[in-house]
């Protein structure tokens, strides 16, 4: 990778590049080995240049948000992890709309909306992800989702073109969009909200926070809901009915508070979490004939050695 490294340092200043960066500090599971390169481009030209270099040199690259929906293998991840936090964190309020950069934290944007008397983002006040990640996954909670408030999204195409897409072109569905499939990188998003009393909005946010605290294992490291909701079922209920509440492998555990969460009780490895998730999938399939699909994205080499 020496020639690649030299070319990368020609694109970005040295302070924006880290070699062998531990990824456990960049994921909410608090696990994961080092990335070959961790970079923080400061503008669109730098971001486009890094992606183009990776394409030409056949080096894998991934966009990293807050790492709240990610499981990185203990042996780390090859290639380049790209963080947008250096240049895409700004949030602005104008009228009944908000524009937020991809690296802006969703919870912070919802608080800004509340202070401005804009309702509609209350559901996102406890989601520990970035705006970019929330758009890619059409994040949602408590009956609301990003699709309901998004108006447009600015992306960078694989060809390095900055493009504004209407919400209709994003193919937003349950925890899915066309963004990853098309090789786009989210740079920012526009959202349309509704005027309301800031105190009323704050009260709603407090009610949702209390619900989260009561029902979710917030005291432990996790990636939130680990499995997607199968059609006609609830993942947590299936896991509970399979007798897996509290089931452990190493430091990983099916949460006793909410079976839809796999948690790091302390000292878990990525392998522990991976093996636990596979065991849960196998047991639920055997008992109920339902295939649980991971909501959490896997990066690196897991299991039998396959590269995810």
Of 68, 222, 225, 269, the active-site residue reads 225
Provide the CA 31 distance to its chain's centre, in angstroms.
15
Give the pair of three-digit tokens for residue 21: 């960066």
**What is the three-class DSSP state of 90?**
coil
Pairing of strands 77-83, 61-64: parallel
Angle, to 10 degrees, between the axis of helix 106-115 and the axis of helix 198-215? 150
**What is the three-class DSSP state of 256?**
coil
d(CA 240, CA 247): 10
Helix (H) / strand (E) element for 18: namely strand 17-22
**What is the three-class DSSP state of 93?**
strand
Active site residue 46: no
**Contact between residue 299 and residue 70 where contact means Cβ atoms under 8 Å apart:** yes
d(CA 228, CA 295): 5
Q: Which of 32, 34, 16 is nearest to 24 (CA)?
A: 32
**What is the three-class DSSP state of 116?**
coil
Active site residue 122: no
Helix (H) / strand (E) element for 286: namely helix 270-288
Of 30, 175, 275, 278, the active-site residue reads 175
Residue 192 buriedness (CB in 10 A; 0-12 / 13-18 / 19+): middle
Active site residue 55: no
Which residue numbers are catalytic?
175, 225, 295
């Amino acid at each position: 990778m020496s020639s690649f490294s030299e070319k990368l340092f020609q694109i970005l200043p040295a302070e924006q590049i880290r070699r062998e960066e531990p990824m456990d500090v960049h994921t909410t599971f608090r696990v994961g080995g080092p990335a070959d390169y961790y970079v923080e481009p400061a503008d669109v030209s730098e971001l486009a240049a890094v992606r183009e270099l990776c394409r030409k040199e056949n080096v894998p690259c991934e966009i990293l948000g807050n790492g709240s929906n990610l499981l990185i293998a203990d042996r780390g991840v090859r290639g380049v992890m790209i963080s947008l936090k250096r240049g895409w964190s700004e949030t602005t309020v104008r009228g009944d709309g908000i524009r937020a950069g991809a690296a802006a934290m969703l919870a912070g944007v919802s608080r800004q909306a509340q202070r401005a008397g804009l309702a509609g983002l209350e559901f996102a006040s406890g989601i520990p992800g970035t705006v970019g990640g929330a758009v890619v996954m059409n994040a949602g909670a408590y009956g609301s989702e990003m699709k309901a408030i998004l108006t447009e999204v600015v992306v960078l195409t694989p060809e390095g073109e900055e493009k504004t897409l209407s919400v209709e072109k994003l193919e937003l569905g349950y925890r899915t969009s066309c963004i990853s499939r098309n090789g786009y990188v989210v740079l920012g998003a526009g959202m349309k909200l509704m005027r309301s009393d800031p105190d009323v909005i704050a009260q709603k946010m407090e009610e949702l926070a209390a619900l989260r605290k009561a029902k979710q294992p917030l005291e432990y490291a996790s990636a939130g809901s680990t499995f997607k909701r199968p059609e006609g079922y609830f993942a947590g209920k299936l896991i509970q009915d399979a007798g897996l509440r509290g089931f452990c492998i190493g430091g990983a555990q099916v949460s006793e508070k909410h079976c839809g969460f796999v948690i790091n009780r302390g000292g878990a490895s990525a392998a522990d979490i991976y093996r636990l998730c596979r065991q849960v999938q196998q047991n639920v399939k055997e008992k109920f004939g339902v295939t649980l699909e991971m909501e959490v994205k896997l990066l690196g080499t897991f299991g039998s050695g396959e590269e995810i």
